[in-house]
Amino acid sequence: MPEPKRDIGNNAEAKPDDERRELALRRLSDSMMISLGAEFAQASNRRLLEQGYFSKLHLHWPILHQNTFHSNAQPEQLVQAVLVAGLWMTGTAKARQLAECHHDKIVEIQCENSSILEQQSDIFNAPRPEFLAFFQSIMISTILLTYRAANGTPGAVVDNKRLLRLTVYSKRLYRLFNNAGVFDQQRIDAENPLDPIVREQYQRLAIMLFKAFVHLNALLITHLPKFRLLDYFHPAMLNVRVPSSQEIWNASNKDHLQDVDGRALIGSLFTGDTNNLTYQTLTSISACDFSTGMILGCFNKRRPDESLLELMGRVSPFLAWHFNIQASEESRIEYDDES
């Protein structure tokens, strides 16, 4: 059962900043934990669910560094997010039903605690390495909520409710990331001068949240066509460097320091400050994540008189195939269920 919500900051104001941050993060992370079933405790099942996450969801949302995740001990909150998402990605009806039950609890707790995050904005105010796993776990929950909203029945009340929750959830996550400097490469570099893997994971968080935002707008068009589309998150705000290619990111022996200072800021594509390197920049983004590169290319070519609705129409071909998860027996991952 999740730990009851507690007032994180009232008795900690006199503590040094480092201790206060550590206390706030620990209490908030603990409060967002849920109790998973016994089947999740089996090492063989955990490996299979992690495999489901990295072989499916990670292909389209590469926010984690797989080698780091497997090589280093990870906070349990992040592990839970990966396991639940991996279970949903198995594709079987029974697995998805169980995953959605756990995911609903996680999302409900995270929504309840979002007000605490806003109250503690002076704590979560920088892209520090100790915050990374916490941010990643919330991002994974958001991505899975996007899949579930897309997988529902258009017009169904329950799915519209889920979609509206995703709308609120995404905006709160945007505010959290913006306040923490996740969209600002200078702040990322300043907080993580010696760890290129952490820096790049923050860059990927920024980019994948924008991608989720675009998916959300596409879902609003499909499920709630009368709902006003959201335009508060413009790609010009992505003042982060282009991440490394998929090949480099997924290999354990590649040098992530190579060409780190030479990569363009993604936001420069929309400020006229790319030194005529637009094609090269978009190609590099596509090498990191193909659909993100295509989405940003559509935004880059947006006409001054083109509405967001029209733009979403051009972007949609690069979104729909994300949700076409094959449920064939060949693509399913079976795990032991003792229940």
CA triple 143-125-192, angle to 5 deg: 85
**Residues 197, 65, 246, 100: is their CA dihedral positive or negative?**
negative
pLDDT in tens, the chain (339 residues): 444 444 444 444 445 677 877 787 777 777 777 777 777 777 778 888 999 999 999 999 999 999 999 999 998 889 999 999 999 998 788 889 989 999 988 888 887 777 677 777 788 889 999 999 999 999 999 999 888 877 765 555 556 677 777 888 888 889 999 999 999 999 999 999 999 999 999 999 999 999 999 998 888 887 777 777 788 899 999 999 999 999 889 886 655 555 555 788 999 998 866 556 888 899 999 999 999 999 999 999 999 999 988 999 899 888 865 655 433 333 444 555 554
What's the pLDDT score for residue 332?
A: 46
Indicate the residue type of 171.
K
- Locate 98 and state its tokens: 């169980």
The values of phi and psi at residue 9, to 5°, are: -105, -15
pLDDT at residue number 153: 54
Residue 55 CB-half CA count within 13 A:
16
pLDDT at 31: 74
The amino acid sitting at 209 is L
Q: Say how far residue 195 (Cα) sits from the centre of its chain.
A: 20
DSSP 42-75: SHHHHHHHHHHIIIIIHHH---S-HHHHHHS---
Indicate the Cα dihedral angle 213, 64, 320, 84, nearest 10°.
-100
203, 225, 235 from 272: Cα distances, Å: 21, 33, 13
What's this model's pTM, rounded to 2 decimal places?
A: 0.86
Q: Is the CB of residue 219 less than 8 Å from the CB of residue 146?
A: yes
Tracing tokens 């990966």 back to the chain, one arrives at 82
Residue in 150, 153, 92, 99 with CA at minimum distance from that of residue 327: 92
Q: CA end-to-end span of the chain, whole Å?
A: 19
Q: What is the pLDDT of residue 113?
A: 75
Contact yes or no for 319/214 (Cβ under 8 A)? yes
